[in-house]
Amino acid sequence: SSKDLGRNRMSRFESLLGEKASSRFHMEQALRVGIGGGELLLEYQTVSRTSDQAAVGVEALVRWHRDGLVHAPPNDFIPLAESTGLIIPLGRWVISEAVTQLGAWRHAGVVGADFTMAINLSPVQLSDSELLRTLDAACDSAEVSKSSVILEITESSLVSEGSPMTDVLNSISGAGYVFSIDDFGTGHSSLSYLRYLPTGQIKIDRSFVSGLLTNPRDAALVAAVIGLAHDFGMICVAEGVETSAQLEALQRLGCDLAQGFLLGAPVSAADVRIT
């Protein structure tokens, strides 16, 4: 049956992954070469207003292509990049490429001055002493305002009050960049960081959105997170919106922005529909 076929394919895929994992060094070398060799690409997914579905920004998502094919998904190579330090050059490339693209759209008049570019930051990048300079250099050369650059970080990277990381976040936020807490609700962390960290956005994780209409607890969580975001003066974004029923529910709950396959899958810069 087609189900068996799928399973066979999957186990073949997994054994290939196993071979790759056994040669982690090989993959690390491949990634090192790939970063410098033009194998990384960015795709962009639109972020839309729930009220009228107008695109207000995009999120940049990195891809690793080799010979025209996907070489590995980000959920595989980002952790590798993080554990090997390659996330620093990779992350710098993502910042430069994404901000340059925003500048190109701005200057072509494709988007307005308040159109935003969201960039995922690994916690490792927060300890890169060049991070702020890298961001500033990208914004200066692309002539885009810092407040149009949104930096997505996960809760796992948020540490206790008074740690050096707080200073890093405060200086980057003080320079004008906006922080967004990605995959909100999935991290093993306390909410107390909301008391002192300079965050402008909360992104509700896809796992809560997927249960929004079927699981009353997910619905309660989504409603609570939207309320929490607004009480803190933050914008609330829902991730992984796949159906119009989910979008309508989010509209009713007052969620500001939404992102997901319903509104647009991640695509190349040339294919982004900004309407």
List of residues contacting ligand C2E (CB under 6 A): 45, 61-62, 73-75, 78, 94, 120-122, 152, 182-183, 206, 240-242, 260-261, 266
Residue closer to ligand C2E by CB (options 20, 63) is: 63
Name the strand (E) or helix (H) holding 179: strand 178-184
Q: List the one residue out of 69, 65, 68, 75 whose CA is nearest residue 30.
A: 65
Per residue, the 3-state secondary structure of 138-172, as one string, reads: HHHHHCCCHHHEEEEEEHHHCCCCCCHHHHHHHHH
Q: Which of residues 228-257 bind Mg ion (CB under 5 A)?
A: 239
183 binds Mg ion (CB under 5 A): yes
Taking the complex as a whole, the smallest distance from the CB of residue 176 to ligand C2E amounts, in Å, to 21
Taking the complex as a whole, the smallest distance from the CB of residue 96 to Mg ion amounts, in Å, to 18
Taking the complex as a whole, the smallest distance from the CB of residue 90 to ligand C2E amounts, in Å, to 7
Q: Which of 50, 120, 125, 199 binds Mg ion (CB under 5 A)?
A: 120
Residue closer to ligand C2E by CB (options 76, 196) is: 76
Regarding beta strands 235-238 and 69-72, do their DSSP bridges make them parallel or antiparallel, or are they unpaired?
Answer: unpaired
CB distance 238 to 255 below 8 Å: yes
**242, interface contact from ligand C2E, Mg ion, none, CB < 5-8 Å by kind:** ligand C2E
Q: List the one residue out of 256, 196, 180 whose CA is nearest residue 222.
A: 256
Name the strand (E) or helix (H) holding 97: helix 87-107
> Rounded to the nearest 10 degrees, how much is the dihedral formed by the CA atoms of 142, 146, 147, 150?
90
Binding mask 143-172 for Mg ion (x = CB under 5 A): ---------x--------------------
Q: Which residues bind Mg ion (CB under 5 A)?
A: 120, 152, 182-183, 239
